Amino acid sequence: MMPVQSTPSKSKMNVLINSYYPSLTKSEQKVASVVLEQMDKVIYYSVTDLADIAEVGETTVLRFCRKIGLKGYQEFKLAIAKDLSVSGQNDTSESQPLSLVDSIAQYTKNAVDETVNMIDETVLQKAIELLSAASSVHFFGVGTSGLSALDAKNRFLRIGRRFDAIIDPHIQSMTAATLGPNDVVVGLSISGSTKDTIDSLHIAKENGAKVIAITYYARSPITKVADNVLLCGGKESPLEGGSLAAKISQLFVIDLLSTGLALQDKNYTVEMKEKTAQAVVGKIY
């Protein structure tokens, strides 16, 4: 029995999935049916989300992707995003679109507002306490999330916290292997599925370190390894990877952490801000 087609027959992904459908296992067919019925939503699902909706395991979703000729889940979502972009299915603009400036501004504001609604202040406070008590703190991220990790290092350094940021996957893994129960690793990944970062977090976890995850997806591979999950807004399709809104959402959460930590010892924070500012004052005309 073939699945119901809710997307136009001209859709390449629709044709591709239906052509493979008879050769898929029953579990893989459940994934295929969900994709065909919700193709415009799937590009915003994590692999865990899709697995849960299809009522299968994550490995089944990954096998499905490979069965239809794609290397993995992210390539699968990218193919769908391209397809929807060409067919116009992913156009959600208003009947009277905003100007370019207003549109980008509104999108960015929405991402911050979304983050505010997603943040659990109890979880945030626990994360601040973990950072405060840690012998060492390392921020792990690659790509755009790597840039956010570097921004975090700069932000915390200005309040006298010598936290590190590691954006090279090999160095992440080696560093993770040296950590222990008194150390904390903060993993940044909007998708929650960044393999390099998650692999390093697993190593850190196995060695006893505490893990804090900053991600958009509450149900994703990164949240399974984390002791503490801080959600941020700014979801993005595969064609929007590295969007400014997503990065600002990450930085907003980092600002919450650094400000919360700074408030624990206001006198020390003021002293460190003055010292770090004085250290670079000669580098400004």
123-160: per-residue pLDDT in tens?
999 999 999 999 999 999 999 999 999 999 999 999 99
CB atoms under 10 Å from CB of 95, counted, come to 4
Q: What is the pTM of this model?
A: 0.76
Can you give the pLDDT at residue 107? 81
Can you give the pLDDT at residue 241? 61
List pLDDT tens digits, range 222-236. 999 999 999 998 776
Tokens of 249: 């959402």
Which residues touch 182 (CB under 8 Å, ≥6 apart)?
A: 133, 134, 135, 136
Q: What is the mean pLDDT of residues 183-198?
A: 94
- What are the φ and ψ backbone dihedral angles of 143, each rounded to 5 degrees? 65, -135
Cβ proximity of 152 and 163 under 8 Å = yes
Domain boundaries, the chain: 12-87, 100-283
CATH H superfamily, domain 100-283: Glucose-6-phosphate isomerase like protein; domain 1 (3.40.50.10490)
Tokens of 237: 């399709």
Task: Give dist(CA 219, CA 198) in Å, integer.
Answer: 14
Cβ proximity of 84 and 39 under 8 Å = yes
Does the domain formed by 12-87 have CATH 1.10.10.10?
yes
Which residues touch 23 (CB under 8 Å, ≥6 apart)?
A: 67
Task: Give dist(CA 199, CA 229) in Å, integer.
Answer: 17
Cβ proximity of 221 and 48 under 8 Å = yes
Task: Give dist(CA 220, CA 258) in Å, integer.
Answer: 25
**Which residue shows structure tokens 């990877």?**
241
8 has pLDDT over 80? no
Task: Give dist(CA 109, CA 162) in Å, integer.
Answer: 31
List pLDDT tens digits, range 211-268. 999 998 888 899 999 999 999 987 766 666 667 888 999 999 999 999 999 999 999 9
